[in-house]
Structure formats: C-alpha cells, structure tokens
Chain A
Amino acid sequence: MSKRSLRSAAGPLEYLRRWPLQAWLVMVGLFLYAPLLTLMAFSFNDSKRNIVWKGFTLKYYDKVLQNDSLIAAFGNSLTIAAISTLISVILGAMAALVLWRFKFKGKTVLDGAMALPIVVPEICMGVAMLVFFAKVMPWPTGLPWPLNLGAIIIAHVSFSFPFVAVVVRARLASFNRELEEAAKDLGAGEFMTIRDVLIPHMQPSLIAGALLAFTLSLDDFVITFFTSGPDTVTFPVKVYSMVRFSVTPEVNAASTILIVFTVLLTALAIRLQGAAAVAGGHAPDASSK
C-alpha cells in the first residue's frame, strides 16, 4: 500500500514531493551543513594553510591531544555543564511545580521574572554577572579544581534553569490530578505523592530539560567570557582566542571532536526518547503564549 502511494501523483498538500520545495530543502541543507562538513574534512588535511587538499593526516588530532590547555578547557566545559545541569534540573523542576500547582500572590510576577533570563540578551546577562562577581560576591581565587569554576557554574544555572522549568511545566500540564487524589486516598502524604506519583510523570521532561541545560551550558560563550578568569577557561573561550589568532587545522580538529560529541549526544537522546520526542521536546512553542 505504502509503496503504491509512493508512486502515485503527488497529492495537493504533499508539498514535500514537489520539486521546487525539494530543491529548496537541498539548498538549505547545503547551507547548514556544507560549512561544518568542510571544516571536519579539512581537519584531516595535511597542509598548514588548510585550503587545498594535500593528503590525509591525523597529526592535528595528535596536536590537539597534546595541547594541555585545550584539554583542560574541554574538561572544564564538561564539568561546568554536568554540575550546572544537575542544579538546573532540580531548580527548574521545583519552579515548574510551584507555578503549576499553587495559587499565590505574586504568581504572575514570578512567572514573568522566570521568563526574564530567557529573553534578556546574553550580553546584558554577561555584564550583570561580571559586575556581580567583581563587586558583590568576588569568587575566591586559588580554589582547588573544580571549586574555582563556581562563578561560571552559577552563571550557567541562572540562564539554564528557567528553560528547564518551561519544559517540565509543559509536561505537568498533561498530569491527571485524579492520580494524586488516589495516592492521597490510599494514605500517601504530600511528599510521598510528589516522590512516587508526580516525579515519575515528570521524568521524560526532566531528561529533556537536562539535555537542553547541558547543551546550553556547553554552547555558551558570551556569558562565560564575562565570568571566566585566566585559569578558568572553557572550551569555547579557548577556541575563541585561537580563532582570533588564525584559522588553523588544529582548531578544525578540536571543532570536529566537539561536533562528533554533539552528534553522539543527540544520538543517545534519540535512543533514549525516540526521534519525535527529541525533536518535539526542543521545539519552542512560543506561539501559544
């Protein structure tokens, strides 16, 4: 049946099967992927000038792996992302719960304030963090790793947890309150109901929120740029200083590693949740506002 319909003429609304749209999609695909794919391909190019293909080599990967400051920056980025994700998921879930469940004075204000970190331009938030950690709460220097990353972690949590709250709240909307009543009828207290009934229902959104917080943290440059010090360099900040200097195959190799890492993370998310959930969980549904 499906094979047959494939061969039939395109229906009026099957826009995907019309050639102008197909051509457009291919063009956009090229636009989005060609720069990244050439970047990856040329990381294997045996030429310092990095334009013409001179042969296959892995020497730039070797160079990256021997670049201690780059490896340290990558380690910092992963550590910051992991810790800030953990805190963001907890805070985000709490905020979602309180906004979904309770009626209280100032709820609209809190709702609006929670949206602020999402809409405020990154540069403004970066500046605010710079001022805060310079004047109000100077982060002590010389702390052992990973405590020295504290300021960056705090900044990352501040912009990630409202995103987690949005994702979790969307999921809570589909919760059947009768389940909660049933749990209470059967003798569960408030905390027990939350732990055994509500949190299991929230679980997919907690995973989606965690993935979102992790990528946001790993991706962030501007806010980190304003909070990082000379010995708390993250991967984007390090690559930035390398890129400012020049375009080198070494940066290509480091970038390729991170791209592969991102693709693997996405693949893992798809395995865990299915392609539709991964695609849907991140679609900003702002039009319903």
Chain B
Amino acid sequence: MEQSWKRAKAIFATVLGPPLAWLLLFFLIPLTIVWVYSFGTNVGLTEIAFTGTFSNYARAIEPLYVGIFLKSVGVAGLTTLFCLIVGFPVALAITFAPDRLKAWLILLVMLPFWTNLLIRTYALIAVLRTEGYVNLSLGWLWTHASGLMTMVGLSPLTRFEPLELLHNNFAVVFGLVYVHLPFMVLPLYSALDRLDRSLLEASLDLGAGHFRTMMMVVVPLALPGIASGILITFIPALGAYLTPDLLGGPDSQMIANIIERQFKRANDWPFGAALSFLLMYMTFIAIALQAMLAKRKTEAGS
C-alpha cells in the first residue's frame, strides 16, 4: 500500500522535513550532547572538557550509587506489582461491563490521570501527613474506642500516637501506585477486551471455578497485554522524580533525584549526564526484555 517516496518527492520532502528537523535539533542533538558530557570532566565552574574519560561511569558504580539504582528498581518493581494487583480486577470489571458503562468506567480511571501530577501528589501529602486526614480519622476512632472501653469498665487506651505515613519509603510507593494505576489498567483492559469470551465460558462450563479460569485461561492469554502494562508502569516509576522528592524522606532518594541534584545543586554535569544515560540504558533494557518475551510468545503460539 505504501508509496515509494520517489513518486511524490515534493510532498515527501514537505511532510518529512519539519518533524525530522524538529526531532533532530530539539531532541536528538540535546541528548547527544548529554551523552558526550558523560565522558567529560568539569574544568572551572561552567566549563566542561571532553576528555573521553570513563571516570563518571566508574563513580556511578560506587556502592552508594549502585544502592540507589537497586533501590529505584525495587521501588518501581513494588509499585508495578501493587498496580497489577489493584488494577487487574478493575480492568476485568471494565472488560465485562455493559457497553454503555464501559466508556464511563474508563473515564473514571483516566480523570485523575489527566489531573495535574503535582496536584495529585499534593493531595496525598494532605492525606498522609502527621496531622493529615488518615491520622485524624484514626485518632478520632482511637479516642472513641477508648471512651467506649472506659464505659464498659476497661482501662482507657493510651494516648493516640499518629502514624508516620509521610516522608518515608511507604509514602513513595503509595504515591507511585496512586499516580501510575491508570498506566496499568488501560493496557490490561485492551488486552482483556480482545480475549475470545467463548474460551472463558468453555472453561467455566467444564467445571473450572472463576479463580482457576483466571489463572489458567485469562492470564496466559492476556500475557502480552500484562507484560506491556508492567512495562508502561515500570518505566515512568523508575524515572520518577516528583513523588520521591515530595513524599519521600532523606533515604527515599531515587535515581532521578540524584540526577537533578548533579545538575542543579552539586553542579557536576558530567556525572549527572552519566547517571542519566545509565537510567536510559536501564529503560531500554526493560523495553528489549519485554519485546523478547512478546516475540517468544508469538513464536510459541504459531
């Protein structure tokens, strides 16, 4: 169906030119400069000399930074897992909802996603902080339970100690799940929606329970969709900056926070550039892994 470009050179050039030029000038060249910087050294305050050194990468594999990389992968992995657990039933409900309701349920999942990320993170601060709504509700319940116990003649409870919910790793994972849930639900839904329903009915008819049908029929068939949901959630979670910055504590720094610090406060651009590219390579590895899995899956299927 495609036309050879030689048959409509004028059109081809007009339509290709502007997007290609933009992509080159305002995306690929900036990235290339960062890549070049990652092999450079700081000389003076703002000068960076290209020395072809690997010292920035060597510094990145010091235990301190390896620990942060591992922690980021762990936090992103945990986030993805929780998103999958929370999101799968939601995707299932949307898939088998009546058509009229379907679009509205999707909108319900999407609407927070369209709301500004910063506002959503801020909303979580108000919920989780020491004098936040969660602790307030718990405190209220606590005092009333305590009052109830004195009424029935028991000794009252000790004073309510607010839970530390903010500025720790729990808050970071909670916030990342909150922010990334729609990323998981939508690909899951589009995978489940394509399933042949008669297979599910057959499984149920032949005596498998709902749980067994899910595990033995739905999950294997929807595996490519699940894999892409995992990827779409994992990648932005791995590079998250705002959530660990605002909800995390001193030990919840993720890679993105370290990169930001190199560029803004520590003013060590070459090292920051090396870290950026390491993060990017990790992203590409994740994508390649998923592509390989998907390929093996289709080969096995055919």
Q: Residues on A close to B: CB < 8 A? A: 12-16, 21-22, 24-25, 28-29, 31-36, 38-39, 42, 49-52, 90-92, 94-95, 97-98, 100-104, 110, 113-114, 116-117, 119-125, 127-132, 135-136, 154-155, 157-158, 161, 165, 177, 190-191, 194, 215, 218-219, 221-222, 226, 235-236, 239-240, 243-244, 247, 251-252, 255, 258-259, 262-263, 265-266, 270, 274-276, 278-280, 282-287, 289
Q: Give the CA-CA distance A21 to B294 in the complex, in Å.
A: 29
Interchain CB contact under 8 A, A222 and B242: yes
Q: A15-B93, A24-B93 are in contact. Are A157 and B118 (CB under 8 A)?
A: no
Q: Chain B residues in contact with chain A, CB under 8 A?
A: 1-5, 8, 10-12, 15-16, 18-20, 22-23, 26-31, 33-34, 37, 86, 89-90, 92-93, 95-98, 101-104, 106-112, 114-127, 129, 131-133, 136, 178, 181, 183, 186-187, 189-191, 197, 200-201, 204, 224-225, 228-229, 231-232, 235-236, 238-239, 241-242, 246, 255-256, 259-260, 263, 269, 272-273, 276-277, 279-280, 283-284, 287, 291, 294
Q: How far is the CB of A129 from chain B (nearest CB, A)?
A: 6
Are A239 and B118 in contact, with the CB atoms below 8 A?
yes
Determine if A194 and B11 form an interchain contact, defined as CB atoms under 8 angstroms apart. yes
Contacts of B108 in A (CB 8 A): 29, 32
CB of B241 within 8 A of CB of A259, answer: no
Task: Tell me whether A123 and B126 are in contact in the complex, defined as CB-CB below 8 angstroms, given that A15-B93, A32-B109 are known contacts.
Answer: no
A158 touches B22 (CB 8 A): yes
Residues of B within 8 Å of A161, CB to CB, are: 19, 22
Give complex CA distance A226, B80 in Å.
27
A274 and B102 CA atoms in complex are apart in Å by: 12
* Closest residue on chain B to residue A52 by CB atoms: B136
Distance A52 CA – B283 CA, assembled complex (angstroms): 44
B123 and A95 within 8 A (CB):
no
**With contact pairs A102-B3, A243-B122 given, residues A262 and B260 touching in the complex (Cβ less than 8 Å):** no
The answer to whether A258 and B116 touch across the interface, beta carbons within 8 angstroms, is yes
Is the pair B15, A124 in contact by a Cβ cutoff of 8 Å? Answer: no
**Would you call A135 and B33 a contact (CB within 8 A)?**
yes
- Would B238 and A121 count as touching, CB distance under 8 A? yes
Contact of A283 among B5, B89, B106 (CB under 8 A): B106
Instruction: Give the chain B neighbours of A34 by CB distance below 8 A.
Output: 127
Given A98-B15, A127-B34, A284-B186, decide whether A113 and B23 contact each other with a Cβ distance below 8 A: yes
28 A-B pairs with CB atoms under 8 Å apart are A13-B201, A13-B204, A21-B92, A32-B112, A38-B127, A52-B136, A100-B2, A102-B8, A103-B4, A120-B280, A122-B256, A123-B276, A124-B31, A124-B239, A124-B276, A127-B276, A131-B269, A221-B118, A236-B117, A239-B116, A259-B119, A266-B111, A274-B103, A279-B103, A286-B187, A286-B228, A287-B225, A289-B291
A165: B residues at CB distance < 8 A? 19
Tally A-B pairs: CB < 8 A.
289
Is A286 in contact with B232, judged by CB distance below 8 angstroms? yes
CB distance from B66 to the nearest CB of A (A): 18
Complexed CA–CA distance, A32 and B180 (Å): 11
Given contacts A127-B263, A266-B107, A283-B189, whether A114 and B93 have CB atoms under 8 Å apart is: no
Q: Are B22 and A91 closer than 8 Å at their CB atoms?
A: yes
Would B26 and A127 count as touching, CB distance under 8 A? no
With contact pairs A123-B239, A124-B34, A128-B33 given, residues A191 and B118 touching in the complex (Cβ less than 8 Å) = no
Give the residues in chain B near A132, CB-CB below 8 Å.
26, 29-30, 33
Known: A51-B131, A129-B30, A236-B118. A247 touches B125 (CB 8 A): yes
On chain A, the residues within 8 Å of B15 by CB distance are: 94, 97-98, 101
Residues of A contacting B238 with CB < 8 Å?
A: 121
List, in ascending order, chain A residues with CB within 8 A of B187's CB: 284-287
Cβ A222 vs Cβ B241 within 8 A: yes
Indicate which residue in A95, A123, A136 contacts B260 across the interface (CB closer than 8 Å). Answer: A123
* CB–CB A28/B11 < 8 A: no
A279 touches B106 (CB 8 A): yes
Tell me which residues across on chain A come within 8 A of B287, comparing CB atoms: 119
Given contacts A103-B3, A236-B118, contact A120 B283 (CB under 8 A): yes
Given A13-B197, A190-B11, A218-B241 contact (CB < 8 Å): no
Shortest Cβ distance from B278 into A: residue? A124
Of A13, A215, A218, which contacts B200 at CB under 8 A? A13
- Decide: A131 and B30 in contact? CB cutoff 8 A: yes
B30:A262 contact, CB within 8 angstroms: no
- Residues of B close to A24: CB separation below 8 A: 89-90, 93
Known pairs A31-B178, A243-B118 / 10 extra A-B pairs, C-beta < 8 Å: A31-B86, A98-B12, A102-B8, A239-B119, A247-B129, A258-B115, A262-B115, A266-B111, A276-B102, A276-B103
**Could you tell me the distance between the alpha carbons of A239 and B229 in the complex, rounded to whole angstroms?**
31
In the docked arrangement, what's the CA distance between A132 and B30, Å? 5
Give the complex CA separation of A275 and B102 in angstroms.
9
Complex Cα distance A14/B200, Å? 12
Is A263 a contact of B111 with CB atoms below 8 Å? yes
The residue of chain B having its C-beta at the shortest distance from the C-beta of A283 within the complex is B186
B30, A119: Cβ atoms under 8 Å?
no
B-side contacts of A282, CB under 8 Å: 110, 186
Q: How far is the CB of A21 from chain B (nearest CB, A)?
A: 5
